[in-house]
């Protein structure tokens, strides 16, 4: 099912499966990226069909609450993203970064036991199919700069400021 959630930084498209798990979340002006990640997902390799329908409250309500200021609530959303084992490790580690905190790609690589894999972490971060919920926006460059955000750097800046990070 495909739903659209209004946010202060543009509509967020959310795709849930029949079990109510979040499969994709992407800003409306990056819908092509969402379809690409759905096509590549091991969970949907047999194909997928989207039908417009309201997302389950267990997904929609926490997303709306996050944008209203309840920052930790998105941690409750169940995701089913597919991905390689390495990508899944990176995505799980991203969800452990506390709202209002940032990490460098190198620090996250070290946290998952892959000290030299900063670029691989960056690639996995960039392939994240559930923007905001798996908080890829919390990764920054080694020099503290905002780099690489699929939804655009202005959205990354907004999300970090929303979470209380001085950008």
The per-residue pLDDT for range 4-31, each reduced to its tens digit, is: 999 999 999 999 998 999 999 999 998 8
Q: What is the mean pLDDT of residues 135-159?
A: 92
Contacts of 161 (CB under 8 A, 6+ apart): 167
Contacts of 97 (CB under 8 A, 6+ apart): 103, 108, 135, 138
Cα–Cα dist 21/132, whole Å: 15
Cα–Cα dist 60/56, whole Å: 6
Evaluate whether 97 touches 135 at the Cβ level (below 8 Å): yes
pLDDT number for residue 37: 82
CATH of domain 85-162: 1.10.10.10
Nearest to 93 by CA among 155, 135, 59, 33: 135
Cα–Cα dist 144/4, whole Å: 32
Please determine, for residue 127, whether its predicted confidence score (pLDDT) is greater than 60. Answer: yes
pLDDT number for residue 40: 75
Average pLDDT, the chain: 92
The per-residue pLDDT for range 37-76, each reduced to its tens digit, is: 888 775 555 677 888 999 999 999 999 999 999 999 999 9
User: Known catalytic residue: 136?
Assistant: yes
Q: What is the CA radius of gyration of the chain?
A: 15
Q: How many CB atoms lie within 10 A of CB 51?
A: 6
Contacts of 108 (CB under 8 A, 6+ apart): 90, 93, 94, 97, 121, 139
pLDDT number for residue 72: 94
Given the residues 136, 139, 159, 160, select the one marked as catalytic: 136
Nearest to 22 by CA among 72, 75, 70: 75
pLDDT number for residue 119: 93
Evaluate whether 23 touches 80 at the Cβ level (below 8 Å): yes
| DSSP code string of 124-154 | HHHT-SBTTTS-GGGEE-TTS-----TT-HH
| Domain regions of the chain by residue span | 2-76, 85-162
């Amino acid at each position: 099912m495909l739903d659209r959630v209004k946010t202060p930084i543009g509509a967020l498209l959310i795709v849930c499966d029949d079990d109510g798990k979040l499969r994709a979340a992407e800003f409306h002006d990056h819908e092509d990226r969402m379809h690409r990640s759905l096509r590549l997902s091991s969970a949907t390799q047999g194909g997928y069909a989207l039908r417009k329908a309201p997302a389950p409250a267990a997904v929609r309500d926490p997303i709306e609450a996050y944008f209203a200021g309840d920052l930790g609530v998105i941690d409750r959303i169940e995701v089913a993203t597919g991905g390689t084992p390495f990508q899944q490790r990176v995505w799980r580690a991203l969800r452990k970064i506390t709202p209002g905190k940032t990490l460098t790609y190198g620090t996250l690589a070290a946290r998952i036991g892959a000290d030299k894999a900063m670029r691989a972490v960056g690639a996995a971060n960039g392939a994240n199919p559930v923007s905001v919920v798996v908080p890829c926006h919390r990764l920054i460059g080694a020099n503290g700069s905002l780099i690489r955000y699929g939804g655009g750097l202005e959205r990354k800046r907004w999300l970090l400021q929303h979470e209380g990070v001085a950008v």
